[in-house]
Amino acid sequence: MDETAFRALAEEVEDFVRGPGERYAEQIERTGEVPAGLRQELRERGYLSLAAPVEYGGRGLDFPRYLELVELFSMSHASLRMIVHVHNGVWRAIDQFATAEQRNRFVLPAIAGDRVVAFTLTEPTAGTGADLRCSVKQEGDTYYLSGEKHLITFGVHCDYWLLFARIEGTIGKDGTVALMVPRDTPGVLVRSMSNTMGVRGTDHAHLVFDHAPVPVANRLGEVGQGLDVALGGFLTPSRISVAMTCVGLARRAQELAVAHAKGRVTFGKPLSSRQAISFALAENATDIEAARQLTLHAARQWTAGDDSAATLSSMAKLNAVDMLSRVTDKALQAHGGIGFWESSPIERVYRDARAQRFEEGTNEIQKTVIAREVLA
What DSSP string runs through 40-109? HHHHHTTTTSSSS-GGGTS----HHHHHHHHHHHTTS-HHHHHHHHHHTTHHHHHHTT--HHHIIIIIHH
Alpha helix (H) residue ranges in 266-338: 275-303, 309-335
pLDDT tens digit sequence for 19-69? 999 999 999 999 999 998 999 999 999 999 999 999 999 999 999 999 999
Please give the Cα distance from 148 to 323 (Å, whole number): 33
Instruction: Name the pTM for this structure.
Output: 0.93
Catalytic-role residue among 68, 71, 123, 360: 360
Residues 89 and 234: their CA atoms lie apart, in Å, by 7
CATH for 228-374, options being 1.50.10.20, 3.10.20.30, 1.20.140.10, 1.20.120.550: 1.20.140.10
Helix (H) or strand (E) holding 238: helix 236-263
d(CA 324, CA 288): 8
In this prediction, residue 197 carries a pLDDT of 85
CATH 1.10.540.10 residue window(s) in the chain: 3-112
- Residue 142 has a pLDDT of 98
Which are the contacts of 285, defined by CB distance < 8 A and separation ≥ 6? 254
How far apart, in Å, are the Cα atoms of 13 and each of 5, 20, 33, 47, 81?
A: 12, 10, 22, 9, 12
Residues 366, 318 contacting (CB under 8 angstroms): yes
**Cβ atoms within 10 Å, residue 232:** 18
* 211/323 Cα distance (integer angstroms): 44
pLDDT in tens, 249-302: 999 999 999 999 999 999 999 999 999 999 999 999 999 999 999 999 999 999
The superfamily CATH assigns to domain 117-223 is: Butyryl-CoA Dehydrogenase, subunit A, domain 2 (2.40.110.10)
Burial of residue 100 (CB within 10 Å: 0-12, 13-18, 19+) is: exposed
In this structure, the number of other CB atoms found within 10 A of the CB of residue 187 comes to: 14
What pLDDT, on a 0 to 100 scale, did the predictor assign at position 360? 87
- pLDDT of the residue at 128: 62
**CATH 1.20.140.10 in the chain, residue ranges:** 228-374
Select from 1.10.3720.10, 3.30.70.260, 1.10.540.10, 3.30.450.20 the CATH code of 3-112: 1.10.540.10
The boundaries of every CATH 2.40.110.10 domain in the chain are 117-223
Give the integer Cα–Cα distance in Å for 301 and 340.
Answer: 40
1's CB contacts (< 8 A; 6+ apart) are 9, 59, 60, 61, 65
Q: Please answer whether residues 97 and 58 qualify as being in contact, where contact means their C-beta atoms are separated by less than 8 angstroms.
A: no
How far, in Å, CA of 353 to CA of 88, rounded?
21
Identify the pLDDT of residue 146: 98
The segments of the chain whose pLDDT lies below 70 read 127-128
Q: What is the DSSP letter of 185?
A: -
- In the prediction, which pLDDT does 223 show? 96
Query: Which residues fall within 8 angstroms of residue 173, CB to CB, at 6 or more apart?
Result: 130, 224, 226, 227
Is-catalytic flag, 255? no
Q: Which residues pair with 269 in a beta bridge?
A: 266
Residue 234: the pLDDT is: 79
**Phi, psi angle pair for 193, to nearest 5°:** -110, 85
Inter-helix orientation angle 345-355/309-335, to 10°: 150
